[in-house]
Structure 1
Amino acid sequence: MQIIKLEEPFDKAQIPAGSVVLALGFFDGVHRGHQAVIETARQEARKRGVKLAIMTLTPHPSIIFQHVPPEKVTYLTSLERKLQLFARFGAEIAYVVALNSQVSKMGPQEFVDKYMVGLHAQAIVAGEDYTYGTEKIANMELLPQYAQARFAVIKVRHLKQMGQKISSTRIRTCLDHGQITQANHLLGYCYENDGVIVHGKQVGRTLGFPTINISVGQGERLPAEGIYAVKVRLLGKTVDGMASIGRNETFGSNNAPTLEINLLDFSQMVYGEHVVVQWHQYLRGQVKFPNAQALIVQLKRDEKNVRAYFAAK
């Protein structure tokens, strides 16, 4: 997949020759609803004999339009993972548009001319609520007017589950409540976090459950505090694990939240290594135990539950 980063004002020479079908959206999470848009665009591109291109923006629109501080915004997918998913679902070209002040101030006609016609789109495919500026004047209903018969407009209806729209907001809510199974169902794949293994307080080692401490990528959204069954990719391997997101309240108050994972049947030293954590199952909430021995008893139960969960899959 060819990745092309555009920053206004961009050089037209960056745009490959040849027509495309262009899928549009922010695509945070690249969930099942987004996948329906991409698949519709892929089929249209195949029918027309042209390449499938996807255009996304960075950073999140709320930072620019609603003035949300960047450090307050978390993502379901980093830009890197989003691009990996685009490639998995068939994109041949990915356009990453820097959402700067020049882009945000564009009127709808200028945006259409530069970022749809200018990218050689034969057809535009987007979800029914896609906007390209102020919602009332730059929505999918009005796009044919701005297109001026230069490209086809294909509107994809919302994909629903249990009567509700599948959306990034809904998935974030699931994660915030530890509803990993539901989040994964809406995503169409297991939720993941990237991170680096860092030094911790090594409390788990003294309990007989050594853990790796993980610093996740900036802006990535973690699930709610609790204990989870996870798979961890590191050193070219995939290892089952028991993850804890919490504050270790058994050993003191006012601790900062941490992500620690006890890797099952794995004992290598891996400080500084990059890892990908794949979230599979929520097991229980965090509990402040009266003493270390009570915690050890529970950790043994948790390990048994994790092993049983993966053995049954």
Structure 2
Amino acid sequence: MEIIHLTYPFKENIIPQKIILALGFFDGVHRGHQELIKIAKEKAIQKHLPLVVMTFDRHPKEIYQNKEVSYIDTLAEKAYKMQELKVDFLLVMHFNEAFSKLTAQEFVDKIIVKLNADTVVAGFDYTYGPKQIANMKNFPKFAKGRFNIIDVPKQSYDGQKIGSTEIKKAITSGDMELAAKLLGSPYVMSGYVGHGLRNGHKLGFPTANLVWSEDKVVPKIGVYATKTKIKGKWYDSMTSVGYNVTINEGKKLYIESNLFGFDQEAYDEEIIIKWYKYTRGEIKFDNLKDLKKQMSADESEIKTYFANID
């Protein structure tokens, strides 16, 4: 898969042939997105054309509403999922002020037509400007017969609407099992191993301290059953999200993963954490002995959990 970064206005023939174009922000690349991309891929195979997905480098709300937005995926995580879905090209449009001011007709004329789209695939709620005008119902009017349109209906799973908003709520409330159902796989956080306070080492539970992208959705405070990848290998692990209240004054949030069977130094190594289950909240203990006893119980519980699901 090739990743192409675009800034409006861009030159023609970015991809010098007709394309199947899937549109969306695709945060999380969840089950709904996967269905949309599957439909687009089937059309691409049928027509012997490349599948191109267009996303943005930031959520439109950051420009339109001047809002801080939290994300399920970093761009790198999103790109990895797209590659797994056999996307040929990922176009990352820089969502700047000039792009945000395009009218619905200009978006079609200066973006979609210029990209040489044979067929456009988008979700039922996709918008390309003010939603009362730039919606899927009005899309054919702006297209003027220059490309085909596939409108993908709302997706649900086990009676639950699949959407990025619903997934973020599940993550921030600690419901990692619901998040995984809607995503189609466990929630992932990636980054690198930073220097922590080494409190885990002192307690006999050495931890890898995750340094993560600040705009990622963070699970609620507590302890989780996780799997963690360091140095190319996955380990069952227990991961804490919290302020280390027993030992510290609790001003900085830490995400610390204790990998079962791993005790090497790993500073600055890439780390990936998959989140499976919330097991308990953060507790302030009276002494380190009680904290260590609880951590032993956490380890035992999480090992049993993975023994039963693996």
| Alignment-derived partner of residue 138 in structure 1 | 134
| Alignment-derived partner of residue 261 in structure 1 | 257
Where in structure 2 are the equivalents of 1:298-313 lying within 5 Å? 298-312=294-308, 313=310
Deviation at 1:306, TM superposition (A): 1.5
Where in structure 2 are the equivalents of 1:287-298 lying within 5 Å? 287-298=283-294
Pick aligned residue for 1:119 from 100, 115, 125: 115
* Mapped partners of 2:281, 2:192: distance in 1: 24
Indicate whether 1:3 and 2:42 are aligned.
Answer: no
Amino acid corresponding to residue 34 of structure 2 in structure 1: Q
Query: SS where residue 246 of structure 2 aligns?
Result: helix
Query: SS where residue 114 of structure 2 aligns?
Result: helix
| Alignment-derived partner of residue 61 in structure 1 | 60
Count of matched residue positions in the alignment of Structure 1 and Structure 2: 309
Query: SS where residue 119 of structure 1 aligns?
Result: coil
Deviation at 1:143, TM superposition (A): 0.3
* Mapped partners of 1:252, 1:218: distance in 2: 22
Query: SS where residue 112 of structure 1 aligns?
Result: helix
Deviation at 1:38, TM superposition (A): 0.5
Deviation at 1:28, TM superposition (A): 0.4
Residues 179-201 of structure 1 show CA distances to partners (whole Å, capped at 9, x for unaligned) of 00110110001111112211221
The CA RMSD over aligned residues, in Å, is 1.3
Amino acid corresponding to residue 8 of structure 1 in structure 2: Y
Specify every segment of 5 or more residues in structure 2 that has no aligned partner in the other structure, as ranges: none
Residues 121-168 of structure 1 show CA distances to partners (whole Å, capped at 9, x for unaligned) of 111111100000110110000000011011111111111124332000
Deviation at 1:81, TM superposition (A): 1.3
Deviation at 1:237, TM superposition (A): 1.3
Query: SS where residue 9 of structure 2 aligns?
Result: coil
* Mapped partners of 2:248, 2:80: distance in 1: 41
Query: SS where residue 304 of structure 1 aligns?
Result: helix
Q: Which moved more, 1:141-150 or 1:49-58?
A: 49-58
Cα pair 2:244 2:250 within 8 Å, conserved: no
* Mapped partners of 2:160, 2:239: distance in 1: 30
Amino acid corresponding to residue 31 of structure 1 in structure 2: H
Amino acid corresponding to residue 93 of structure 1 in structure 2: F
Pick aligned residue for 1:215 from 211, 215, 231: 211
| Alignment-derived partner of residue 25 in structure 1 | 24
* Mapped partners of 1:191, 1:33: distance in 2: 15
* Mapped partners of 1:84, 1:114: distance in 2: 28
Where in structure 2 are the equivalents of 1:31-70 lying within 5 Å? 31-68=30-67
Q: TM-score, normalised by structure 2?
A: 0.96
Indicate whether 1:184 and 2:204 are aligned.
Answer: no
* Mapped partners of 1:200, 1:92: distance in 2: 40
Query: SS where residue 129 of structure 2 aligns?
Result: coil
Q: Which moved more, 1:32-41 or 1:282-291?
A: 282-291
Specify every segment of 5 or more residues in structure 1 that has no aligned partner in the other structure, as ranges: none
* Mapped partners of 1:193, 1:164: distance in 2: 24
Amino acid corresponding to residue 12 of structure 2 in structure 1: K
Pick aligned residue for 1:91 from 87, 94, 107: 87
Query: SS where residue 295 of structure 1 aligns?
Result: helix
Deviation at 1:217, TM superposition (A): 2.2
Q: Which moved more, 1:246-255 or 1:183-192?
A: 246-255
* Mapped partners of 1:155, 1:101: distance in 2: 27
Amino acid corresponding to residue 79 of structure 1 in structure 2: L
* Mapped partners of 2:12, 2:37: distance in 1: 25
| Alignment-derived partner of residue 147 in structure 1 | 143
Pick aligned residue for 2:160 from 156, 159, 164: 164
* Mapped partners of 2:191, 2:166: distance in 1: 24
Residues 89-131 of structure 1 show CA distances to partners (whole Å, capped at 9, x for unaligned) of 1211111111111110011111001221111111111110000
